[in-house]
Amino acid sequence: MHISKLAVHKNKFKVECRRRTVASMLAQSKTESEIAEQLNVNQSTISRDIKVLKELSQRFVYDLAKSDLAFYYKQCLVGIEYLMSFM
């Protein structure tokens, strides 16, 4: 069975839209079962969505911290070099 690229793209878009809705509903303190019922999907689908959302948020925070820490580390080295130039 051949699945067209358009069908795959539409499915990915549908999943991403659902996950945005799940994130919004979680922010409103909805339970997994409430979300599943309102979106008319299995609770296991919502559990998987939540797992993916957590992984994405952790990756975002890690990447943010990694870039900020590298910047501050470089600033510290520059500061040390500057202080050493007075010795």
pLDDT in tens, 45-65: 999 999 999 999 998 888 877
What does the pLDDT average to over 55-76?
Answer: 81
User: Between the CA of residue 2 and those of 15, 16, 20, what are the distances in Å?
Assistant: 20, 23, 29
pLDDT tops 60 at residue 1: no
What CA–CA distance (Å, rounded) separates 86 from 59? 41
What CA–CA distance (Å, rounded) separates 69 from 75? 10
Read off the pLDDT of residues 2-52 as tens digits, 9 standing for 90 and up.
668 888 888 999 999 999 999 999 999 999 999 999 999 999 999 999 999
